[in-house]
Amino acid sequence: MSAEPQVVADLVAGSATAVCRVEEIPPGEGRAFAVAGEQVAVFRLRTGVLRAVSAVCPHRGGPIADGQTDAQVVVCPLHAHVFDLATGACRTGQPPLRTFPVAEADGWVLVGGG
């Protein structure tokens, strides 16, 4: 299932959160938000795709939202471990990041599954 149907399902269930306007996240960057008690890093990729993963690096708690991205991965700014933004899987041997459904609706960024 892609992220969008899941976030719509969460919206229907009342468990999706509007975290910001899309334009508040510059293309290629991420921002951290609290969603249902979880710290979630939301990225707006240069392709326009939105991705949401845990904001806390499983290595030593680095701020994932501040990491550099390309179309597929984010690099933690502390020790440069590399995580797949679609699956959360680490490509450099650490535990995965949790992923969250995310979608845009009427210019808002919605995050589900907190």
Contact residues for ligand FES, defined by CB under 6 A:
57, 59-62, 76, 78-79, 81
Q: Strand 73-75 relative to strand 29-35: parallel, antiparallel, unpaired?
A: unpaired
Q: How far apart are CA 48 and CA 57, in angstroms?
A: 24
Nearest CB to ligand FES, comparing residues 35 and 76: 76
Nearest CB to ligand FES, comparing residues 20 and 89: 89
Question: Do you know the residue count of the chain?
Answer: 114
Report which of 43, 65, 94, 66 is spatially closest to residue 83, judged by C-alpha positions: 94
Nearest CB to ligand FES, comparing residues 7 and 57: 57
Smallest separation, CB 114 to ligand FES (Å): 22
